[in-house]
Amino acid sequence: MNEEIIIAGFGGQGVLSMGKILAYSGVMQDMEVSWMPSYGPEMRGGTANVTVILSDSRISSPILKMYDTAIILNQQSMDKFEKFVKPGGLLLYDGNGITRHPQRKDINVFRVDAAEEASKMQSSKTFNMIVLGGYLKIRPIVSMENVMNGLKKSLPDRHHHMLPLNKAAIERGLEIVQEVQTV
């Protein structure tokens, strides 16, 4: 198993922490992992992305050009990363604010309306965990038990009272993710 993922969106959407939780879940499942953030000026300008790799074997390059999965959370990231999904790969996106939907016909496209769902759950902080749930429904590469262990590891102790809410958000994501097209 080797899954190469880019998660891209606005700063503040929880892009980097979602990647960290996914990476920690991989650690809990005894996989090799890497987490490579964009840390440059673009972080200060509003967009953020992180490359996460989970693998059964030693990871070579933590920086990639093509990805198995792109999780896209704003229009700029759609414009930038849609073309870098490998043919037959997965593009998962939140429809909120998207005016130009995915065009490619050679990739699997799923949609998770996490922003809308997070406002229904009355907690914008659940947004990234709803997206993560949606991803795990399509690619169950780590068990729910290890995701929860990973979440516990990556959240500071003072936020552990948020664990049940995060679990509920992941479960909501599992339910609401919709298929747009499969190849």
Partner 1 sequence: MREIRLMKGNEAIAEAAIRCGVDGYFGYPITPQSEIMETLMLEKPWEKTGMVVLQAESEIASINMVYGGAGCGKKVMTTSSSPGVSLMQEGITYLAGAELPCVVVNVVRGGPGLGTIQPAQSDYFQAVKGGGHGDYKLIVLAPSSVQEMADFVELAFDLAFKYRNPAMILSDGMIGQMMEKVEMKPFTPRWTDEEIVQMHPWATTGKPSSRERNIITSVELDANAFERFNHKLQAKYKQIEENEVRSEMFECEDADYLLVAYGSSARICQKAVQLLRAKGIKAGLLRPITLFPFPTKEIQALLGHVKGILSVELSAGQMVEDVRLAVEGKVKVEHFGRLGGVVHSPEEVVEALQSKIIGG
Residues lying near partner 1 in the complex (CB under 8 A) are found at 20, 23-24, 27, 32-37, 39-41, 59-66, 153-154
Quote the least distance from Cβ 50 to partner 1, whole Å: 9
Quote the least distance from Cβ 20 to partner 1, whole Å: 7
Q: How distant is the alpha carbon of residue 122 from its chain centre?
A: 21
Give counts: helices (H), strands (E), the chain. 7, 7
- Residue tagged 């922490």 (tokens): 17
* Residue closer to partner 1, measured from CB, 34 or 123: 34
Q: How far is CA 120 from CA 18, 94, 156, 169, 172, in A?
A: 20, 15, 26, 11, 11
* Residue closer to partner 1, measured from CB, 65 or 158: 65
* Residue closer to partner 1, measured from CB, 44 or 100: 44
Quote the least distance from Cβ 113 to partner 1, whole Å: 29
> Any residues with CB less than 8 A from the CB of 124 and at least 6 apart, and which?
118
* Residue closer to partner 1, measured from CB, 84 or 121: 84
* Residue closer to partner 1, measured from CB, 86 or 125: 86
Q: What is the DSSP code string of 93-140?
A: E--TT-SS----SSSEEEE--HHHHHHHTT-GGGHHHHHHHHHHHH--
Quote the least distance from Cβ 130 to partner 1, whole Å: 23
Quote the least distance from Cβ 142 to partner 1, whole Å: 13
DSSP-based three-state secondary structure for 180: strand
